[in-house]
Amino acid sequence: MGATLFASNPVPDDPKQIIARRVAREIRAGMLVNLGIGLPSLVANHLPADAGVFFQAENGVIGMGARPPEGMEDRNLTDAGGGFVTAVPGAASIDSAMSFGLIRGGHLDMTVLGGLQVDERGFLANWMVPGKMIPGMGGAMDLVAGAKKVIVAMIHTAKGAPKIVPVCTLPLTAQRRVELIVTEMAVIEPTEEGLVLREYGPGTTVEAILAATEARLIVGDDILPMNLDSPSPQ
């Protein structure tokens, strides 16, 4: 299969930007959305400031915008990973108790998180990096357990090793099935029956996806090319 390219909206070369652009299409006006550290934070760059979406970060920001232009950074306005962000009109600063009250209370419409592994059950492992000292899983366990919809945004493999596996070998973030996995190669939906391949990425094929995926994928006849058009106004 070939990928569909959009002349008016060219596909980016950077795999992370491909993922971020595709995830942006899942977001609707009026949503309260948490963006995780790293790749997920790029999603905000693919939505206009007037999209009617409020991005939240655990450190106490609601109404987080895209990264500011160079020289316009404000050291008091960052995401949970310490990266500089902007604020959209109507944004608010809140304390950690309110921030985690929103997360644990089930008030987040969506969270977008990075991943180290996802398995055939749709379970996510995203906090224990082998061989590295880390302080703990942070807010990830709360986000996976509390958000209404969990999207995993990650590069399909790690140095050639599959990250979508039969069973996670790294510690789980939570025992809850995520709703969607978006990589530069594929869009995969975890279901009761298993992992269903929904879309193939630009420049790839179903055969290449299967070769790069250790877990079993359910492949139907309705697979579509990944739509990377900018989200339409809602």
- How high is the pLDDT of residue 4? 33
In this predicted structure, the answer to whether residue 10 has a pLDDT above a threshold of 80 is no
Intra-chain end-to-end CA distance of the chain, in Å? 31
- Identify the weakest region by mean pLDDT among 81-95, 171-185, 196-210: 81-95
DSSP string, the chain: -PPP--TTSPPPSSHHHHHHHHHHTT--TT-EEEE-SSGGGGGGGGS-TTS--EEEETTTEEEE-SPPPTT---TT-B-TTS-B--EEEEEEE--HHHHHHHHHTT--SEEEE--SEEETT--EE-S--TT------TTHHHHHHH-S-EEEE--SEETTEESEESS-SSPPS-SS--SEEE-SSEEEEEETTEEEEEEE-TT--HHHHHHT--S-EEEEEEEEE---SPPPP-
Asked whether residue 25 is assigned to any structural domain, the reply reads yes
Q: 158-200: per-residue pLDDT in tens?
A: 999 999 999 999 999 999 999 999 999 999 999 999 999 999 9
Asked whether residue 9 is assigned to any structural domain, the reply reads no
In this predicted structure, the answer to whether residue 132 has a pLDDT above a threshold of 80 is no
Asked whether residue 231 is assigned to any structural domain, the reply reads no
Asked whether residue 212 is assigned to any structural domain, the reply reads yes
33 against 11, higher pLDDT: 33
Asked whether residue 6 is assigned to any structural domain, the reply reads no
CATH number of the domain enclosing 114: 3.40.1080.10
84 against 129, higher pLDDT: 84
- How high is the pLDDT of residue 60? 87
Asked whether residue 7 is assigned to any structural domain, the reply reads no
Q: 43-77: per-residue pLDDT in tens?
A: 988 988 788 899 998 888 899 888 889 999 998 88
Average pLDDT of 29-56?
Answer: 90
- How high is the pLDDT of residue 232? 60
| Structural domain boundaries enclosing 87 | 15-225
Asked whether residue 147 is assigned to any structural domain, the reply reads yes
Asked whether residue 10 is assigned to any structural domain, the reply reads no
Q: Which residues belong to the active site?
A: 58
Q: How many domains does the chain have?
A: 1
Q: Give the distance between the most distant pair of CA atoms in the chain.
A: 50
Q: Measuring CA to CA, which residue among 27, 124, 41 is closest to residue 82?
A: 41
